[in-house]
């Protein structure tokens, strides 16, 4: 269990991610959900949502020592009306205060994805 939780806890402890995690309106991250659960959110009972709709999640298939453990996956409806999954990789650098800070903020990583325009919930 710690193989999943520790990398995620580390990611969530970073200020660039923590503020979005703590946001209750809108809810930015779904937490630990499977690829299939994310796809179900984007299809729902009314059919496939509009292109650009996305869900952020911690994948259930990436646990330590996997190098992607603790990273987020964005699952989204592409302009081709299919569902895509893309890993958002957080690279951390050591600062002089012995803490690690992200090279890029989560918001910046999302803005770099031109196909993302609105949350899936």
Residue 81, domain CATH: 3.30.505.10
Quick one: what percent of the chain has pLDDT higher than 90?
27
**Closest C-alpha among 21, 24, 49, 32 to residue 118:** 49
**pLDDT confidence of residue 80:** 96
Tokens 């179900």 belong to 40
Cis bond before residue 7 (omega within 30° of 0): no
**CB–CB of 89/52 below 8 Å?**
no
The Cα 74–Cα 76 span in angstroms is 6
Reported pTM = 0.74
The Cα 32–Cα 90 span in angstroms is 17
| Domain ranges, residue 94 | 2-119
- When divided into structural domains, the chain yields a total of 1
> pLDDT by residue (tens digit) across 49-86?
999 999 998 877 765 565 566 788 999 999 999 999 99
The Cα 94–Cα 82 span in angstroms is 39
The Cα 6–Cα 81 span in angstroms is 35
Structure tokens at 19: 């503020």
- Angle between helices 2-13 and 15-22 in degrees, nearest 10: 100
């Amino acid at each position: 269990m710690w193989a999943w939780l520790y990398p995620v806890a580390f990611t969530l402890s970073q200020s660039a991610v923590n503020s979005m995690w703590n946001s209750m309106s809108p809810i930015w991250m779904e937490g630990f959900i499977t690829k299939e659960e994310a796809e179900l959110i984007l299809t729902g009972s009314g059919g496939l949502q509009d292109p650009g709709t996305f869900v952020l999640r911690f994948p259930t298939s990436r646990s330590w020592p996997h190098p992607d453990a603790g990273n987020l996956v964005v699952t989204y409806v592409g302009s081709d009306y299919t569902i895509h999954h893309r890993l958002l990789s957080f690279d951390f650098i050591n600062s002089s205060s012995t803490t690690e800070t992200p090279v890029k903020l989560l918001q910046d990583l999302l803005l770099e994805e031109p196909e993302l325009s609105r949350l899936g919930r």
